[in-house]
Amino acid sequence: MSDSQQMERRYKVRQVTDIQASWTERARGEEGRFTLQLILDGGVEEYILAPEAEDMAAILKLFQQSPHASFDLDRKVLMFATLKAR
């Protein structure tokens, strides 16, 4: 097996090309549920995150501050590029 095949096998990282944020009511008067659909590599794959409200706000802020993001499907890691340290 070549080095590139081994690397591809170890990491399945896709570029996040679009996101769809949603909120769903569970029951009248109860807390709802946030979901964030990640569209990966222009629709090659998709992944749904279900963050808590505080995490959702932080994730959306990171999307605003980063020119692009990637998602590792195997490790379930959302990665943001070129963030400035303040």
Q: Give the mean pLDDT of 23-42.
A: 92
In this prediction the pTM is 0.79
* Distance in angstroms (rounded) separating the CA atoms of residues 53 and 49: 12
Give 35-82 pLDDT, tens digit per residue: 999 999 999 999 999 999 999 999 999 999 899 999 999 999 999 988
The pLDDT of residue 24 is: 93
Q: What does the domain layout of the chain look like in residue ranges? A: 3-80
Q: Is 36 exposed, middle or buried (0-12, 13-18, 19+ CB in 10 A)?
A: buried
Q: Which of 59, 15, 17 is nearest to 36 (CA)?
A: 59
